[in-house]
Amino acid sequence: MELSGAFAEIKKHVLPKDYRGIDFSRLNILLVEGTKNTLNSMSNIAQLASKKYLEDMGVKIYTETFVKNLEKTKQLLIYLSYISKVILPGLHGYLFT
């Protein structure tokens, strides 16, 4: 979850300054979480606050969802489900609940 927020910050604040000619509005950051909530082991307040922050930063959140298959595309996928793992640009997952 932390990486999705970091990537959202980079997308919003760093990339547009460093690469002015590129439209980053088409760069999607997805958080795929196998549990019911982000920060599932923390308080309800922390869960709601983290979800709101990420959504406000443009992160698309899928809870109770697992990646079953990966295929090459132009999206950035952040796959988090119990163990944090970053799938680099060029991969996208099929989402199954």
Whether the pLDDT of residue 95 is over 50: the answer is no
Going 12 to 18 to 24 to 27, the CA torsion angle's sign is negative
The one-letter code for the residue type at 16 is P
pLDDT value at residue 87:
40
Domain ranges of the chain: 2-96
The reported pLDDT for the residue numbered 94 is 42
Position 24, amino acid: F
* Tokens of residue 80, six digits: 């988090």
pLDDT above 70 covers what percent of the chain?
70
pLDDT tens per residue across span 41-63: 899 999 999 999 999 999 999 98
2-96 in CATH: which number? 3.50.50
Q: Are 4 and 29 in contact (CB under 8 A)?
A: yes
Threshold 0.75, pTM exceeds: no
**CA–CA distance, 87 with 52 (Å, rounded to integer):** 23
Residue pair 72/94 in contact (Cβ under 8 Å)? The answer is no
Q: Which stretch of 13-27, 44-58, 80-94 has the lowest confidence by average pLDDT?
A: 80-94
Most confident option among 17-26, 39-48, 85-94: 39-48
